[in-house]
Amino acid sequence: MTETNRIEYKQELTEGLEKEVIAFLNYHEGGVLYIGIDKTGKAIGVKDADGDMLKIKDRLKNNISPSCMGLFEVVLETKKGKDIIKVNIASGPEKPYYIKKQGMSERGCYIRIGTAAEPMPNKMIERLFSKRTRNSIGKIQSARQDLKFNQLKIYYEGTGVKLNSKFAANLELLTEDKKYNYAAYLLADINNTSIKVAKYKGLNRVDLIESNEFGHCSLVKATKQVLDKMDLENKTLTKITSRERKTTRLWDPIALREAVINALVHNDYSNEVPPKFEFFADRIEITSAGGLPEGMNQEEFFVGFSVPRNKEIMRIFKDLDLVEHLGSGVPRILESYSRDCFKFTDNFVRMSFPSTAPVAGLKGNEKNLSGGQIGGQIGGQMGGQIGGQIGGAIEDAIGGAIDGLPKRQIEILRILQENNKISRKGLSDTLGINESAILKHIEQLKEKGYLVRIGGTRGYWKIRKKKK
C-alpha cells in the first residue's frame, strides 16, 4: 500500500504527530496514520510500542483544540513480525482543529491535501469556524446539576477501570464553565430520556401489541436493556429436513447489534428526540434523529467514514467495548443487508431489516397445536407457525412437552435457550419483573428438573433433558 489522501506513514513517532492528526480531523473523510512504516510502505516497526501508544494518546489529548477525545483510537498491529501503531482518526464535528500553542491560525490549522498535511488558508479557517457545531451535547448545559453516576462507574469497573474524582472532566462531561453538560445528563443515573421499543401485529402501525420503554437511567444501561430486548425478540427458527435440522434467526445478530449501537451513538439528542425501535411482522425498523452528520454524504456513510455526532458518547461506548472500531458499524451491517435497507431524510436515518419469518404465519397454523399454543404465549405477532417452531425447539431441548409450565417460566426457558449466560438482573430487565420473582421461577424450574446451573457466578444455565 502507498500513501493516499486517507493514509499517512511515519517511520517513527516525530514532532509532526499533531499536525498530521489535525489534517485528518479537518478532512471530511478522516484518515489513518501508521507509525513504524516508511514512505515506501515497508514495515520497519517501533521499538517501544506501549510507550509510544501512551505518548500518542497524551499528546493528542493535551495539544489539540477543540478536544479530539472520542475522535481517534490507537491500535497495535503486527506486520511481517514488526509492531506497528495504527491511529484511526475520524472527521471532527467542530472544525477547524488546531495546535493549541499556535492557535486558530495558518500555523496551527492543517488540512489533508493529496498525501500531505498542508496549512489551512485563513479564508477556510473563517468559513469552518462560522459553521462550527454549536448544538453539541458537550456544549449544552444540563438543566439538572444534581447528577449521580453510580451506574456508569459500575460499568467502567466491569472493564477494570475505576473512575476517580476527576472523571467528569476527563470524560468531557463538563461545559467550559465546569457545569454538567447534556452528555453527562444522558449518562447520569436518572434522566428523562426514554427509548421506546414497540411491537405491531401486522405490517403497519395500526395494531400495537407491545410497548416498552427503556431509559430514565444511564444511556449505557438503557443501551444494554435494548440489546437484551433485541436478543429476546430475535428468535431462532428451526427447519427440519430429511438430512439435518437447520436453524436461523429472524435477523443477523451482528448486524442488528451494530444497527442498535449506531442509532444510539449517532442520534441527535440536542432536540431531545431519542432513537426508536419497532418490530413488525415482516421487518424491524430502527430510526435515529438528526439525518447524516454535517459534511457527510451517503457514499461516505456506506464506506464507513466516521464522523461521530456525539464524541463524548462514542468515547465512553468505546471504553466499555460497546463500539469496536471507529467506522466499523455500517460496513458490518452491509455484510448482511443491502443499502436499500437505509432511508435518509434531512432529519432522520431509518434502517429497515426484513425478517426471515414467513408473513403467512401471521394468521396462525392449527396444525402446530402444541407449539402453536406456546407460540401464542411467547411468539407474539409471529403466530402459530413460527411459534410452533420456537416451542418445538424448547420441547426438543428438554425432551418433552412443557404445556403445564406457567407463562413466565416458559419465557425464562426461551431466554436461557438464546442466552444461557444472562444474569438474573438481565432476566428481570428483559421481562419487566423484579429479581426476587425471577429467582422464585428459576428455583421452581430447577426443582422440576428443567434447569441446572453449571459453574458459579461466572457459569451458565443448562436446559436439562427430561426423563421420559
Which of 400 and 235 is assigned the larger pLDDT? Answer: 235
> What is the rounded average pLDDT for all residues in the chain?
85
Say whether both 215 and 342 belong to one domain. yes
Domain tally, the chain: 3
The reported pLDDT for the residue numbered 384 is 41
Task: Write the CATH number for 36.
Answer: 3.30.950.30
Q: Among the three residues 329, 354, 379, which one is the final residue of a domain in this structure?
A: 354
Place of cell 462550527: 132
Which of 416 and 457 is assigned the larger pLDDT? Answer: 416
Amino acid at 47: K
- 219-223, 304-308, 314-318: range with lowest mean pLDDT: 304-308
Say whether both 218 and 334 belong to one domain. yes
Classify residue 284: in a domain, yes or no: yes
pLDDT class of 351 with cuts at 50, 70, 90: very high
Classify residue 141: in a domain, yes or no: no
Q: Is 286 exposed, middle or buried (0-12, 13-18, 19+ CB in 10 A)?
A: buried
pLDDT class of 450 with cuts at 50, 70, 90: confident
pLDDT class of 306 with cuts at 50, 70, 90: confident
Classify residue 32: in a domain, yes or no: yes
Q: Which of 406, 338, 344, 347 has its CA nearest to residue 378? A: 406
Say whether both 16 and 70 belong to one domain. yes
Say whether both 319 and 424 belong to one domain. no
Say whether both 223 and 322 belong to one domain. yes
The reported pLDDT for the residue numbered 386 is 44
pLDDT beyond 80 at 232: yes
Copy the grid coordinates of residue 28: 471530511
Residue 129: CB atoms within 10 A of its CB come to 13
CB 256 within 8 A of CB 279: no
Q: What is the pLDDT of residues 250-303, one digit of tens each?
A: 999 999 999 999 999 999 998 788 999 999 999 999 999 988 877 788 888 898
- Rounded to an integer, what is the distance from CA 352 to the centroid of its chain? 17
pLDDT beyond 90 at 80: no
pLDDT beyond 60 at 400: no
pLDDT beyond 80 at 403: no
Classify residue 158: in a domain, yes or no: no
The reported pLDDT for the residue numbered 394 is 56
Say whether both 390 and 257 belong to one domain. no
- 189-193, 315-319, 446-450: range with lowest mean pLDDT: 446-450
User: Mean pLDDT, to the nearest integer, of 169-175?
Assistant: 94
pLDDT beyond 60 at 147: yes
Task: Write the CATH number for 345.
Answer: 3.30.565.60
d(CA 89, CA 456): 42
Q: Which residues pair with 99 in a beta bridge?
A: 64
pLDDT class of 240 with cuts at 50, 70, 90: low
Classify residue 57: in a domain, yes or no: yes
User: Mean pLDDT, to the nearest integer, of 133-161?
Assistant: 90
pLDDT beyond 80 at 206: yes
Copy the grid coordinates of residue 422: 444472562
pLDDT class of 466 with cuts at 50, 70, 90: low
The reported pLDDT for the residue numbered 153 is 96
The reported pLDDT for the residue numbered 465 is 60
pLDDT class of 74 with cuts at 50, 70, 90: very high
pLDDT beyond 70 at 135: no
Q: Among the three residues 88, 113, 131, which one is the final residue of a domain in this structure?
A: 131
The reported pLDDT for the residue numbered 404 is 64
- 47-51, 72-76, 203-207, 421-425: range with lowest mean pLDDT: 421-425
CB 33 within 8 A of CB 10: yes
Which of 43 and 462 is assigned the larger pLDDT? Answer: 43
Classify residue 153: in a domain, yes or no: no
β-strand pairing of 342-344 with 348-354: antiparallel
Q: Among the three residues 78, 106, 131, which one is the final residue of a domain in this structure?
A: 131
Place of cell 399454543: 373
Classify residue 306: in a domain, yes or no: yes
Report helix, strand or coil for 309: coil
Say whether both 120 and 63 belong to one domain. yes
User: Mean pLDDT, to the nearest integer, of 41-48?
Assistant: 93
d(CA 374, CA 383): 10
Range of the domain at 30: 7-131
pLDDT beyond 50 at 381: no
Say whether both 334 and 441 belong to one domain. no
User: Mean pLDDT, to the nearest integer, of 206-217?
Assistant: 91
Backbone angles phi, psi at 318, to 5 degrees: -70, -40
Say whether both 289 and 343 belong to one domain. yes
User: Mean pLDDT, to the nearest integer, of 394-419?
Assistant: 69
Say whether both 215 and 349 belong to one domain. yes
Say whether both 110 and 31 belong to one domain. yes
The reported pLDDT for the residue numbered 457 is 67
Task: Write the CATH number for 450.
Answer: 1.10.10.10
pTM more than 0.75: no
Angle, CA 377 vertex, CA 376 and CA 379 arms, to 5°:
65
Say whether both 209 and 331 belong to one domain. yes
The reported pLDDT for the residue numbered 463 is 84
Classify residue 361: in a domain, yes or no: no
pLDDT beyond 60 at 445: yes
The reported pLDDT for the residue numbered 402 is 55
